[in-house]
């Protein structure tokens, strides 16, 4: 084994061309999935206060925005719906004329070359803001799972290319797979939010999706922040149930989990850089406390280096523009 002075690791760092040649991890547009929020009405583009540059769009504006997203070379979006009316059963979630279903049909009719993924959960649609059907203050697992299967099926019937259950109920991937297959949608993949933690980093998202729970929290279904082995068990069950892509959420604070999941299962692995991760970088950048662009890229490279094959990120448009700039 060579030792100093024969071995000098700095040798490959002097020349920028060599640095570029030996870089192990790079971002590409193909890594990006852009989360978007759709609201009722027309001509609506509401800024989300806690997420600079992120908006709630009505369907007409959403279609325009999707055209821009596709023209930037971003391959996929994931849709979150904010319905006109919310009730205890979250019935807009599986209404064929619900807000997300309308959005999917409009995008599919007008935008070429854009994969439309849908978030499948109940919390944006229930009056109490919880991820499922309640008995008292308890979220009922199996009753919720059957509604999630209905919701996923209605998205696919409207034209969704992929569904992404984010609720963390037990057994939902299998229920969704069965519901889709029964109707002949055997080719539609499931991206499962497999290891989703009960995280403080979701704060700004709840402004965007208007999905704060009216009481309590999500600790009875989302994972405890201290657990790693349990994440492996969660991912393993989702794979057994038929998940095609597994996800870790949030991303930045859980890089160890992304690495463990990738090493253990070798599955296509997604990571969700959540609203709090985004807003912290944006806020510090806007105050000139950090170089926003540099930290954005560093945060995303870290997620990819940890093992993510794709990243759901509110920075997707910024990253696509950055890549166009540096690759010129």
Residue 74 or 121: the one with the smaller Cβ distance to Zn ion is 121
- For the segment 52-111, give every residue that binds Zn ion (CB under 5 A): none
CB of 42 to Zn ion, least distance (A): 27
Among 69, 93, 100, 121, binds Zn ion (CB under 5 A): 121
SS (H, E, C) the chain: CCCCCCCCHHHHHCCHHHHHHHCCCCCCHHHEEEEEEECCCCCCEEECCCCCCCEEECHHHHHHHHHHHHHCCCCEEEEEECCCCCECCCHHHHCCCCHHHHHHHHHHHHCCCCEEEEEECCCCCECCCCCCCEECCEECHHHHHHHHHHHHHHHHHHCCCEEEECCCCCCHHHHHHHHHHHCCCCCCCEEEEEEEECCHHHHHHHHHHCCCCCCCCCCCCCECCCCCHHHHHHHHHHHHHCCCEEEEECCHHHHHHHHHHHHHHCCCEEEEECHHHHHHHHHHHHCCCCCHHHHHHHHHHHHHHCCCCEEEECCHHHHHHHHHHHCC
- Span near Zn ion by CB under 5 A; candidates 97-105, 127-135, 291-299, 312-320: 127-135
- For the segment 161-200, give every residue that binds Zn ion (CB under 5 A): none
Residue 275 or 323: the one with the smaller Cβ distance to Zn ion is 275
CB of 199 to Zn ion, least distance (A): 13
Residue 41 or 213: the one with the smaller Cβ distance to Zn ion is 213
The active-site residue, picked from 102, 150, 249, 262, is: 249
CB of 147 to Zn ion, least distance (A): 12
CB of 126 to Zn ion, least distance (A): 9
The active-site residue, picked from 196, 282, 304, 317, is: 196
Q: Residue 147, interface with Zn ion (CB under 5 A)?
A: no
- Span near Zn ion by CB under 5 A; candidates 41-49, 115-123, 142-150, 283-291: 115-123
Q: Residue 123, interface with Zn ion (CB under 5 A)?
A: yes
Residue 106 or 152: the one with the smaller Cβ distance to Zn ion is 152
CB of 213 to Zn ion, least distance (A): 9
**Residues with Cβ < 8 Å from 174, sequence gap 6 or more?**
241, 242
Among 99, 131, 163, 308, binds Zn ion (CB under 5 A): 131
Q: Is 196 a catalytic residue?
A: yes
**Residues with Cβ < 8 Å from 242, sequence gap 6 or more?**
173, 174, 177, 190
Residue 76 or 121: the one with the smaller Cβ distance to Zn ion is 121
Q: Is 86 a catalytic residue?
A: no
Tell me the site size for Zn ion, rule CB under 5 A: 3
CB of 166 to Zn ion, least distance (A): 6
Residues in touch with Zn ion (CB under 5 A)? 121, 123, 131
Which residues carry out catalysis? 196, 249
């Amino acid at each position: 084994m060579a030792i100093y002075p024969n071995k000098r690791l700095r040798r490959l760092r002097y020349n920028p061309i060599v640095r570029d040649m030996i870089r192990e991890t790079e971002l590409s547009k193909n890594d990006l999935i852009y989360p978007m929020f759709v609201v009722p009405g027309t001509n609506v583009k509401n800024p989300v206060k806690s997420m600079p540059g992120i908006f709630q769009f009505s369907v007409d504006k959403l279609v325009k925005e999707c055209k821009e997203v596709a023209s930037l070379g971003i391959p996929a979006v994931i849709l979150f719906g904010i319905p006109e009316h919310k009730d205890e059963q979250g019935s807009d979630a599986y209404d064929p004329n619900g807000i997300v279903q309308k959005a999917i049909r409009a995008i599919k009719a007008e935008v070429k070359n854009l994969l439309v993924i849908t978030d499948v959960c109940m919390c944006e649609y229930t009056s109490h803001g919880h991820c499922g059907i309640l008995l008292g203050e308890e979220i009922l697992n199996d009753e919720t799972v059957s509604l999630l299967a209905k919701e996923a099926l209605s998205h696919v019937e409207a034209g969704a290319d992929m569904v992404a259950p984010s609720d963390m109920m037990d057994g939902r991937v299998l229920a969704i797979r069965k519901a889709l297959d029964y109707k002949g949608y055997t080719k539609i993949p499931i991206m499962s939010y497999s290891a989703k933690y009960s995280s403080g980093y979701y704060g700004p998202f709840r402004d965007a999706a208007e999905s704060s729970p009216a009481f309590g929290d999500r600790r009875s279904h989302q994972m405890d922040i201290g657990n790693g082995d349990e994440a492996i068990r969660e991912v393993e069950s989702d794979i057994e149930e038929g998940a095609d892509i597994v996800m870790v959420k949030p991303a930045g604070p859980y890089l160890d989990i992304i690495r463990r999941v990738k090493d253990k299962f070798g599955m296509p692995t997604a990571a969700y850089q959540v609203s709090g991760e985004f807003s912290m970088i944006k806020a510090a950048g806007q105050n000139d406390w950090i170089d926003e662009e540099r930290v954005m890229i560093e945060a995303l490279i870290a997620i990819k280096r940890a093992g993510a094959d794709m990243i759901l990120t509110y920075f997707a448009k910024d990253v696509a523009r950055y890549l166009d700039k540096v690759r010129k």
